[in-house]
């Protein structure tokens, strides 16, 4: 539980369906977060304006049918979403993607494989800053 954030905090997790993606979702559910899961970039791009604003958004840059950058860009322009922390996930250390992500408003940038305990600490830190 994070002070000041309703329990459970709502997380939008957008990443490809994979064993690692399911593992991350399972870890977040075990921590009692409320998850909205999306696995298709194009569908989420169309759906994003109609979704309720989560407490935090986690977007994989390598979503099927779309990269995460347009999703970040759109989210930061939507009413109510501008202050929502967005954490981007990437397959590897691509400095140019990381720099661009921060310029576009990302709150954090995490490379895979994800070490869950430090990742959870990042999530809680972002939630406590809300």
pLDDT digits (tens, 9 = 90+) for 25-37: 999 999 999 999 9
Note the pLDDT tens digit of each residue in 40-82. 888 898 999 999 999 999 999 988 887 788 899 999 999 989 8
List the CATH number of the domain containing 78: 3.40.50.2300
- Looking at residue 3, its pLDDT comes to 55
Secondary structure of residue 110 in the 3-state scheme: strand
Domain-embedded: residue 50? yes
For tokens 């009413």, name the residue: 79
Number of domains in the chain: 1
Token pair of 12 as six digits = 């939008």
Compute the average pLDDT of residues 20-25. Answer: 87
Sign of the dihedral defined by the CA atoms of residues 37, 40, 43, 45, in that order: positive
Domain-embedded: residue 118? yes
91 — pLDDT class (breaks 50, 70, 90): confident
The helix (run of H) or strand (run of E) holding residue 89 is: strand 86-90
DSSP 14: E
Q: pTM for the whole thing? A: 0.90
Compute the average pLDDT of residues 85-106. Answer: 89
Domain-embedded: residue 115? yes
Domain-embedded: residue 23? yes
Predicted confidence (pLDDT) at residue 1 exceeds the cutoff of 60: no
Contacts of 59 (CB under 8 A, 6+ apart): 14, 15, 68, 71, 72, 86, 87, 88, 89
* Segments forming the whole domain that contains residue 80: 10-128
Token pair of 8 as six digits = 């459970």
């Amino acid at each position: 539980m994070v002070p000041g954030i309703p329990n459970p905090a709502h997380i939008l997790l957008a990443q490809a369906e994979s064993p690692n993606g399911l593992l991350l979702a399972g870890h977040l559910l075990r921590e009692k977060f409320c998850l909205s899961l999306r696995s298709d970039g194009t569908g989420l791009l169309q759906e994003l304006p109609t979704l309720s604003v989560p407490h935090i958004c986690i977007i994989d840059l390598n979503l099927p049918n779309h990269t995460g950058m347009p999703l970040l860009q759109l989210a930061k322009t939507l009413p109510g979403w501008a202050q929502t922390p967005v954490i981007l996930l990437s397959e590897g250390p691509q400095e140019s993607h990381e720099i661009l992500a921060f310029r576009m408003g990302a709150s954090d940038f995490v490379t895979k494989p994800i070490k869950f305990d430090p990742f959870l600490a990042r999530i809680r830190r972002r939630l406590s800053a809300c």
